[in-house]
Amino acid sequence: MHLYRALKIVIKKDSNFHRNYTFNELKQRKLLIKTITSLYEKFTYTRPLLITLYGIKSYLDFSDPSSQKGLFSIYFYKNEKRQLDYLKELMPGKQLVILKNSRSNYLNFKLWLEAFLVLLSPQYWKLVRRLSKKFGFLVALRTISTLFYYIRFKRVLGNSSFQGTLVSSDSNPYAMGLSFSALSLGLKTFYINHGHIPEGPPRLFFDYSFLDGPGLEDVYKRVAPIKGKVIYKGSEGISGPLNLQGLKSPSPVIGVFLSLITDWSKLIILIDQINEKFRPRKILLRLHPNEVIRDNMMVRKVKKRSFTRISTAETSAVTDLKECDFVIMGNCSAHLTALKFGVPTIHIEGIDDVTHDFYLFIEKEIHPYFESIESVDLNQVSKFYQKNWNKKFAYFDSNYQKSPLESEKKISDTFKEVLE
């Protein structure tokens, strides 16, 4: 049942439009992915093999933990790592073992042997063929990846003294493999979100979920009842009063923060329009932290504009926000980070190819929305943020304009229940 639930979550998540859009973009830009996908589509007999090779790779992705005390955690992305590091500081004795994926295991004969043992089951090949036929390459890859993670981590956890697991993803294969293998062994599972979640996420099966606030909890509740306990942590970032003075600057510094799925041809036009309308001192273009999906050729084109500075998101968003008078975005959860820090944001239609009002920020009146740069009225933006806005924002961030000490104590006490 636990494995079935893990696979079901990944299948549902990776069947949606946005995951497939991202995968199609990668096929166009990454030669290796394009080549493998071409083999898969042209030669039917290669499909089980290609899917299986990816599953074996997943089995080898992580080394065995050097320590086996406290909670076990893994991550792939920087935004996940920040959340894990934050929670580690709140644990008694900092009892968190965090592993990052590594290629060092690819020469580990023992792990290769363990992975190949999975292939001896006739049920395995039946599942591969069924996934490939019903859902296609992307879903089949990610689902089989989840299976191999589950088997690997169940062996690791079963031979350890860990008391539980912690992840910062509610649907990625490695997170589901780890969390549901822990649940199958009776261990406690923890989850912390690393950004706001759009409508229709997977059901939360974790024993403990650390969420930004009631807004995010409601997103999950609209799908299904949450299984475990929810503790509010507030949204990520540094809190400060909203500063609207930058909207009056004759030559502002304007941030443009990108979503994962960016329409690059429209973006370049948009940047030129921003420069023409506002005559900014500088436009700071912050790329999405996910490097895999970036169109580096288009980034170089933007970089040639003398009035633009590129941020590769190596540092936290606050580092870039300190330079900005206001920020323009599309459907991006970074709106919350900017607004919490005190920098007003504006949503412009067409920056990205994400579903309109993906996070319901427009509906909930968290930021103003304009159909084009030409229609932006900064006086109107300033008035928008003066209409009982603080209470609206607190719905998404339980710690807004509050000390985080109370929520951090609740988190620390939660860890003590499990680790002491």
Assign 340 a pLDDT band (cuts: 50, 70, 90). Answer: very high
d(C-alpha 359, C-alpha 246), whole Å: 26
Per-residue confidence (pLDDT) for residue 382, from 0 to 100:
95
- Are 359 and 376 a contacting pair, CB within 8 Å? no
Q: In the prediction, which pLDDT does 365 show?
A: 93
Residue 179's pLDDT is: 98
For residue 336, tell me if it sits in a domain. Answer: yes
Highest mean pLDDT among 31-45, 124-138, 297-311: 124-138
User: pLDDT tier at 229 (50, 70, 90 boundaries)?
Assistant: very high
Question: Within this chain, do residues 74 and 182 fall inside the same structural domain, yes or no?
Answer: yes
Considering the domain architecture, whether residues 291 and 206 belong to the same structural domain is answered as no
**Boundary (domain end) residue, out of 232, 254, 270:** 232
Please check whether residue 409 lies inside any domain of the structure: no
Please compute the mean of the pLDDT values over residues 381-388 and round it to a whole number: 90
220 and 277 co-located in one domain = no
Domain annotation covers residue 174: yes
Residues 182 and 252 placed together within one structural domain of the fold: no
Q: Tell me the per-residue pLDDT of 184-203, one tens digit each, with 9 for 90 and over.
A: 999 999 999 998 999 999 99
Express each pLDDT in 40-90 by its tens digit. 888 888 899 999 999 999 999 998 898 888 999 999 988 899 899 999 999
Q: Which two tokens stand for residue 237?
A: 């970032």
- Do both 215 and 252 map to the same domain? no
Same-domain status, 178 and 279: no
Residue 305 has pLDDT above 80, yes or no: yes
Final residue in a domain of this structure, among 201, 232, 263: 232
DSSP state of 105: G
Residue 295 has pLDDT above 80, yes or no: no
Residue 169, Ramachandran bin (φ over 0: left; ψ between -120 and 50: alpha; else beta) = beta
Q: Which CATH number characterizes residue 364's domain?
A: 3.40.50.12580
Residue 414 resides in a domain:
no
Q: Residue 294 and residue 297: Cα distance in Å, rounded?
A: 9
Predicted confidence at residue 246, as pLDDT, reads 95
Burial of residue 314 (number of CB atoms within 10 Å: 0-12, 13-18, 19+): exposed
Residue 89 lies in a domain: yes
- Strands 326-329, 345-348: pairing kind: parallel
pLDDT greater at residue 344 or residue 103: 344
- What DSSP element (H or E) covers 139? helix 137-158
226 and 326: one domain? no
pLDDT in tens, 387-408: 789 999 999 999 998 889 999 9
Residues 195, 251, single domain; the answer is no
- Mean pLDDT in residue range 324-345: 94
Does some domain include residue 143?
A: yes
CATH code assigned at 89: 3.40.50
Per the model's pLDDT, the better-predicted residue between 227 and 20 turns out to be 227
Q: Specify whether 107 is located in the same domain as 214.
A: yes
Shortest CA distance to 327 belongs to which of 345, 352, 304? 345
Average pLDDT of the residues of the chain: 91
Query: What pLDDT was estimated at residue 225?
Result: 96
Domain residues for the domain of 359 are 245-394
Worst-scoring range by mean pLDDT, 127-131, 319-323, 351-355?
A: 351-355
| Number of structural domains the chain divides into | 2
Domain final residue, candidates 206, 232, 258: 232
